[in-house]
Amino acid sequence: MSQTLEKFKQAIVDGDADGSVTLSETIVTRADATAEQIIDHLSAAMEEVGSRYETGEYFIPEMLRSAEAVERSLAVLEPYLFERQQDQSGVVVMGTVKGDIHNIGKNIIVSALKAAGYEVHDLGVNVSTTKFIDKVRQVDADLLLLSAFTTSTKPAVLEILSTLEDEGLRDHLKVISGGASHSPEFAREVGVDGFATDVKSTLAVCRKLLSD
Ligand code: B12
């Protein structure tokens, strides 16, 4: 299986969506790779794409081709990746903050949370503070998950947190942030309740904050 996973990773780096979809089908049929291994390979592929972008080898069109390969592969892999457990309860609002349109990591987390049993309201990308606040109020959310991928999104995260405070919504609600370019320092600086870097740690943080 490790060879298939390596080929899967390479197909994503190459932006070969047809290839990555075929390999995803093989992965699902053989059923001998863990969800963690698959997501690790997918993330490593996008990490490599990001490095190539940084060094000037790749440009936006190449990043988009790789993103499309991931999106089409996830459509095949999703039922296999996230086993329905339905043992968690809680209302989650999630979205990528204003000024940011990255959605792959967010979509993976949304699927994982739904499979775990949470009621998830996915607001999409480039979500304004008002839209987050309105949804939190409307569904009486327990958790607000903010995806922020570029470092320039810090002001957007800070605006959401201060508006929640001003509107008296911060006491009951736990806020978690994550996404590429995120660090524990960033999370500490902006003052969120939790921070996570992958599916496993996100599920663990959500569970912990809801039981506190
Ligand atoms: C694909 C990609 C794009 C695609 C996005 C397509 C899409 N549908 O999402 C496109 C081409 C549109 C794009 C655009 C841009 N991008 Co871009 N992009 C990437 C790339 C290569 C991969 C991101 C990805 O999908 N990773 C795979 C997923 C699985 O990983 P993930 O997102 O990290 O998610 C995981 C965890 O972070 C976590 N997670 C995610 N969200 C959340 C939320 C919470 C609450 C929690 C707890 C956890 C969590 O769980 C996920 C699963 O494990 C990254 C490189 C990288 N290293 O990430 C650059 C990267 C994020 N992009 C970057 C940049 C600079 C840009 C642009 C500004 C480029 C430009 N000049 O226009 C624009 C910004 C557009 C905008 N306004 O948002 C930089 C950001 C640098 C920075 N520090 O700010 C990066 C890091 C590339 C680089 N090395 O320079 N990009």
CATH number at residue 151: 3.40.50.280
Residue among 44, 81, 103 nearest 203 (CA): 81
β-sheet with 194-196: strand ranges across: 119-122, 91-96, 143-147, 174-178, 194-196
CATH of the domain at 55: 1.10.1240.10
Residue among 128, 102, 113, 110 nearest 207 (CA): 113
Tell whether 27 and 119 lie within a shared domain. no
The token duo for 174 is 């736990």
pLDDT at position 144: 98
Decide which of 53, 81, 109 is a domain's last residue. Answer: 81
Distance 180 CA to ligand 1 centre (A): 6
- Which residue of 20, 149, 182, 190 sits with most ligand 1 atoms within 8 Å of its CB, as the best mutation to test the pocket? 149
CA atoms within 13 A on the CB side of 10: 6
pLDDT at position 109: 96
* Integer Cα distance of 19 and 22 in angstroms: 5
Instruction: Report the atom number in ligand 1 closest to the C-alpha of 177.
Output: 45
* Stated pTM of the model: 0.96
* Integer Cα distance of 162 and 58 in angstroms: 37
pLDDT at position 1: 58
Tell whether 73 and 103 lie within a shared domain. no
Tell whether 106 is covered by a domain: yes
Tell whether 182 and 128 lie within a shared domain. yes
Helix (H) and strand (E) counts in the chain: 9, 5
Instruction: Report the atom number in ligand 1 closest to the C-alpha of 179.
Output: 37
Query: Residue 13 is part of which domain span?
Result: 2-81
Give 97's DSSP letter: B
Decide which of 46, 81, 116 is a domain's last residue. Answer: 81
Protein residues whose CB sits closer than 6 Å to any atom of ligand 1: 39, 42-43, 46-47, 49-50, 53-54, 60, 63-64, 67, 99-106, 108-109, 145-147, 149-151, 176-181, 196-199, 202
Tell whether 60 and 103 lie within a shared domain. no
pLDDT at position 10: 98
- Which residue of 48, 55, 63 sits with most ligand 1 atoms within 8 Å of its CB, as the best mutation to test the pocket? 63
Beta strands in the chain (DSSP E): 91-96, 119-122, 143-147, 174-178, 194-196
Distance 211 CA to ligand 1 centre (A): 30
Instruction: Show the low-confidence residues of the chain (pLDDT under 50).
Output: none
